[in-house]
């Protein structure tokens, strides 16, 4: 037998209570179309207007067209995604007059920003195509970054395709992944990572300089002033200066922090990889060819690793160490370089190259000597270094192994 129960007075008095939910920001997609032909109901005609309206985590989807503006992504726009709807068809063009840091796109303190699929272009009075600064971080991928220079090209030492960090002492550091971009037509450099606290992974980009020019010494990638970087798998070419006072480089590492340069193809630069005053730099498995001067050039540093590289048909030397100490040159192949395959040399001011190990390398067909060492000491053949298990035909002094 089922029993029925009378509701208690307490039960009869209960009512459904509705409480206000906390306000939440749900990521959304903001459409930008300058002529509203692609996105007919797009509420924004400029990228900057969409950035101003966006919340952290939003996606800004940009229709094909040319947007003549500087885009600044400030610190309250974390996780913002800036995306071209059709790869390369949305063009962010430097305006006639630039302001602030003079970047076409600037990530100013916002973190985890994405910039992908755009053509970002000058020319103009520009410091950078894309700049990440003041604690900002960004992934910059699959863009064409073109003509970040003055018109005509001149010797002013700015005009960087991607700048991570700042050119001013008051600028804070930046962090970036720079991948899969085409960067060419720049004034001073393709990618610059600069300053303590700045870091970048630079991978799978095609970076092309102006070719031989007496106007400015360009660098494909530069890592400087305490910055850290991994420069991996890029194709870098045509950074060549015809003046007398300096040289251009595919990759330059200058007074930097923790830097690895690996798996890059470097052709027709003055120097393929140049590293100075950066202890512990690693230069590994690069293909360095047809440099007007030297394939891999290290100066005034210690604890470097130069391993598994191919350096061929460079005008002066395949691998050249000047005033370098306690470093390893291992399992490289140097062929058909103008004077030396592998050379360890002395600078009059900075001193000799000492305490290095040169082992398991192949050097053939190099113009003056396959192997060269001008130091003196208790090492191999009276030098101050250890030479062992190398394959070569000619050396100075005789007796290197």
373-380 mean pLDDT: 98
| pLDDT of res. 193 | 98
Alpha-carbon gap, residue 34 to 47, rounded angstroms: 9
- Mean of per-residue pLDDT scores for the chain: 94
| pLDDT of res. 26 | 84
> 230 pLDDT exceeds 70?
yes
| pLDDT of res. 19 | 39
| pLDDT of res. 7 | 40
- The percent of residues in the chain predicted with pLDDT above 90, rounded, is 93
Please report where in the chains the tokens 């037998």 appear, as a residue: 1
| pLDDT of res. 359 | 98
Model confidence, pTM: 0.93
What single string gives the DSSP state of each residue in 173-225? P-EEEEES-EEES-SSEEEEEESTT-EEEEES-EEEEEEEESS---EEEEEET
361-389 mean pLDDT: 98
Find how far residue 75's CA is from the centre of its chain. Answer: 23
Q: Write out pLDDT tens, residues 320-342.
A: 999 999 999 999 999 999 999 99
Q: Write out pLDDT tens, residues 382-393.
A: 999 999 999 999
Alpha-carbon gap, residue 65 to 67, rounded angstroms: 7
Give 265's pLDDT tier (boundaries 50, 70, 90): very high
| pLDDT of res. 25 | 59
216-229 mean pLDDT: 98
Q: Write out pLDDT tens, residues 34-46.
A: 999 999 999 999 9
Of 13-27, 158-172, 219-233, 288-302, the poorest mean pLDDT is in 13-27
Q: Write out pLDDT tens, residues 22-34.
A: 344 589 999 999 9
27 versus 13: which is more confidently predicted?
27
142-162 mean pLDDT: 97
> 231 pLDDT exceeds 90?
yes
205-220 mean pLDDT: 98
> 11 pLDDT exceeds 90?
no
> 347 pLDDT exceeds 60?
yes
Q: Write out pLDDT tens, residues 47-77.
A: 999 999 999 999 999 999 999 999 999 999 9
Q: Write out pLDDT tens, residues 102-128.
A: 999 999 999 999 999 999 999 999 999
**CA of 131: how far to CAs of 71, 137, 145, 267, in Å?**
10, 10, 12, 27
H helix or E strand, kind and range, residue 9: helix 9-12
Buried b (16+ CB within 10 A) or exposed e, 9-31: eeeeeeeeeeeeeeeeeeeeebb
In the CATH scheme, what architecture does the domain 26-278 have?
3 Solenoid (2.160)
């Amino acid at each position: 037998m089922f029993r029925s129960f009378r509701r208690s007075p307490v039960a009869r008095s209960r009512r459904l209570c509705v409480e206000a939910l906390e306000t939440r920001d749900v990521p959304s997609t903001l459409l930008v179309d300058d002529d509203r032909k692609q996105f007919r109901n797009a509420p924004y005609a400029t990228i900057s207007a969409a950035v101003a309206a966006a919340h952290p985590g939003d996606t800004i989807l940009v229709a094909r067209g040319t947007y003549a503006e500087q885009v600044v992504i400030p610190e309250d726009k974390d996780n913002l995604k800036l995306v071209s709807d059709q790869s390369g068809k949305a063009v962010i063009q430097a305006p006639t007059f630039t302001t602030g840091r003079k970047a076409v796109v600037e990530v100013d303190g916002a973190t985890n920003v994405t910039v992908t699929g755009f053509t970002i272009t000058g020319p103009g009075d520009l410091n950078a195509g894309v700049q990440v600064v003041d604690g900002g971080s960004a992934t910059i991928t699959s863009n064409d970054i073109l003509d970040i220079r003055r018109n005509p090209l001149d010797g002013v030492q700015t005009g960087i395709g991607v700048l991570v960090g700042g050119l001013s002492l008051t600028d804070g550091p930046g962090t970036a992944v720079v991948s899969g971009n085409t960067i060419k037509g720049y004034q001073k450099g393709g990618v610059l990572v600069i300053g303590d606290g700045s870091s970048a992974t630079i991978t799978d980009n095609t970076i092309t300089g102006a070719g031989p020019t007496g106007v400015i010494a360009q660098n494909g990638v530069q890592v400087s002033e305490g910055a850290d970087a991994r420069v991996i798998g890029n194709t870098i070419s045509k950074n060549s200066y015809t003046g007398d006072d300096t040289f251009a480089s595919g990759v330059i590492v200058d007074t930097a922090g923790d830097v690895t340069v690996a798996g890059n193809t470097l052709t027709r630069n003055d120097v393929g990889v140049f590293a100075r005053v950066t202890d512990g730099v690693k230069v590994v498995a690069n293909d360095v060819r047809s440099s007007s001067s030297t394939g891999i050039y290290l100066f005034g540093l210690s604890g470097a690793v130069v391993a598994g590289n191919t350096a061929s048909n460079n005008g002066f030397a395949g691998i050249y160490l000047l005033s370098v100490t306690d470093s390893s040159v291992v399992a490289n192949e140097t062929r058909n370089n103008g004077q030396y395959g592998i050379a360890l040399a002395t600078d009059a001011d900075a001193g000799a190259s000492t305490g290095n190990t040169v082992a398991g390398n192949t050097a053939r067909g190099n113009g003056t000597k396959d192997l060269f060492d001008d130091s003196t000491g208790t090492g191999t053949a009276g030098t101050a270094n250890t030479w062992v298990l190398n394959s070569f035909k000619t050396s100075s002094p005789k007796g290197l192994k």
